Amino acid sequence: MPPLRRSLKSLASILAAVVLLLTLATPGLAGNEFKGRWTLRITVPEAPNSTIERTFFVTLDVSPRGESLHGRANVTDEAGKTVGAAWRQVGKELSVAYELPCQVGAPCASLILQGRVKGGGILIKKGTVIVMWDTKNDRNPSLYDTSNGTFRGDRIEE
């Protein structure tokens, strides 16, 4: 076999092996499993009934859920304050719930984030946020003021 042909054959074998390795590695990612460290960009109204929005970033450290349907996570805000969160995932559908760290003089709330984990488990685009404020409102079915927001998530560490 001429040297050039032999080299091409070797290269083809190496490429085939790389493709095979990538294929074998894909199932874990293809599951869109929620894990690792994430950055979430959350946009919600700054107060009940306000049309002014605020956007903030949090880091989410997701603990493995093992065989459970639910898992825990730590949410750290830009001020370095860390609180807990609870999450569940069915297929791509993800829900993360946590209590906002309350700041003196500012309205406080509970957040429920819902979205779809995509891109092999690295991205949540166009997620929605339910905000339940601490202010009572008898005309709201939750009996408290509520708002809607949006979020995006990017995994920054596996």
Partner 1 sequence: MAKSTKLIALSVIIFAVAASSIGTSAARSQSEFTLAGEWIVTSKPIDGQMASPNGISLGFPDRDMIFERDGDLRTGVVLREDVGQNVHPLGVWRIDGDQFSTTFQLWCPNANGPCGSIVMRGQFLEENKIKGTMTAFFNLRDDRTPTGYDTWTFSFVGNRVGGGPN
Residue 32, sorted as left (phi over 0), alpha (psi -120 to 50) or beta, turns out to be left
Query: According to the binding rule CB under 8 A, does residue 39 interact with partner 1?
Result: no
* Site for partner 1 contains 84 (CB under 8 A): yes
19 binds partner 1 (CB under 8 A): no
98 lines the binding site for partner 1 (CB under 8 A): yes
106 counts as binding partner 1 under rule CB under 8 A: no
14, 17, 112, 156: residue in contact with partner 1 (rule CB under 8 A)? 112
Beta bridge partners of 111: 98, 131
Distance between CA atoms of residues 49 and 44, nearest Å: 11
Q: Please report whether residue 82 would count as binding partner 1 according to CB under 8 A.
A: yes
Residue 115 and residue 72: Cα distance in Å, rounded?
17
Q: Which is nearer to partner 1, 58 or 111 (CB)?
A: 111
